[in-house]
Amino acid sequence: MSTSINNMGNNTRSWKNYWKVLISTLLTAIIVACSSGGINLAGIGGSGFISTGSISSFGSIFVNGVEFDTDSAVFDIEDSSGSQQDLSVGMVVQISGSINADGLTGIATSVRYGDQLEGPITGTIIMNADGTEKAFSVLGTPVIVDSTNSVFEGTGFSFASIAQDNSVEVSGYFDQNGALRATYIAFKAQVFDPSSTVEIEGTISGLSGTSFNIRNVAIDASAANLFDLDNGLQDGVFVEVKGLYEAATPDTPGTPAIIRATEVEAEDITLSADADEVSIEGLITRYVSNSDFDINGIP
């Protein structure tokens, strides 16, 4: 575990150079621009627009440089009905709706938010050499917070105060090494309560019966309710898991941490063929060429 986190601490430059991509299902070209310059969306107005990115500000909702009117939008917050008041700057959301011809404003019909992780901070918290980033583990997943780019939510909760065994909620982007670079991290409790529900998103691997892995944590889904998994559990399927976390302890040497799942739900991370345009903010997780790469695991 510590090896993975140390490796992530040595690869911090990609955080400063995340990308935004505009993809039109009507065109064969993909337009790519550095985040510092943004993307010119002028002239592409129309319906069927999907935007995925972190919230930069409110008034309406600003995502990927576009101000979306949310007066008529339906809000899905962690699979429950919600409102704009449930959202915070830094949260990564998916917005469906339309964009105006100016490329700077649009109308949202739906806004969806779901965190990538919720659970305890475990292991040693490691700071990088210049003191601007901290790396740690949540549910077996390396997480990196940035003193400038990560939004911290919670009374007294900050880059300086974050501590081992804090219970946190994390939203952000996975990089090519499997670390979650947090755009938003919320304080849930000073000390993790083992009776509280944890959440993790990721790809099923090592499936054996009803047991599988998501990154570095084992999942026992023998008593779980399955949702949107028509073909059952399968390796390679991206899912959200909720359940109870049992950490490894000195009393059980060699026994890995495990989540006793109560729910396993398939999460669709592919691009919709019904969308005319899609705007994605995130980190390049696989790169072959300028026409063959993934952002946030999406080809």
Is residue 204 in some structural domain? no
Report whether pLDDT(239) > 70: yes
Report whether pLDDT(33) > 80: no
Owning domain of residue 27: 14-114+270-295
Q: pTM of the entire structure?
A: 0.77
Is residue 59 in some structural domain? yes
70 contacts 61 by C-beta, under 8 angstroms: yes
- In total, how many domains does the chain have? 1
Per-residue pLDDT tens over the stretch 92-147: 998 888 889 898 999 999 999 999 999 999 989 999 999 999 999 999 999 999 99
Report whether pLDDT(297) > 70: no
Is residue 131 in some structural domain? no
∠ Cα 29 35 37 (to 5°): 85
What is the residue-averaged pLDDT of the chain?
80
pLDDT at 267 (0 to 100): 86
Report whether pLDDT(284) > 60: no
Report whether pLDDT(166) > 90: yes
Is residue 126 in some structural domain? no
Is residue 163 in some structural domain? no
Is residue 34 in some structural domain? yes
Assigned token pair, 191: 């000390």
CB atoms within 10 A of CB 241: 23
Is residue 201 in some structural domain? no
Q: How far is CA 249 from CA 121, 220, 252, in A?
A: 15, 18, 5
| Arithmetic mean of pLDDT, 15-23 | 42
| Torsion of the alpha carbons at 294, 295, 298 and 299, rounded to the nearest 10 | -30
Is residue 157 in some structural domain? no
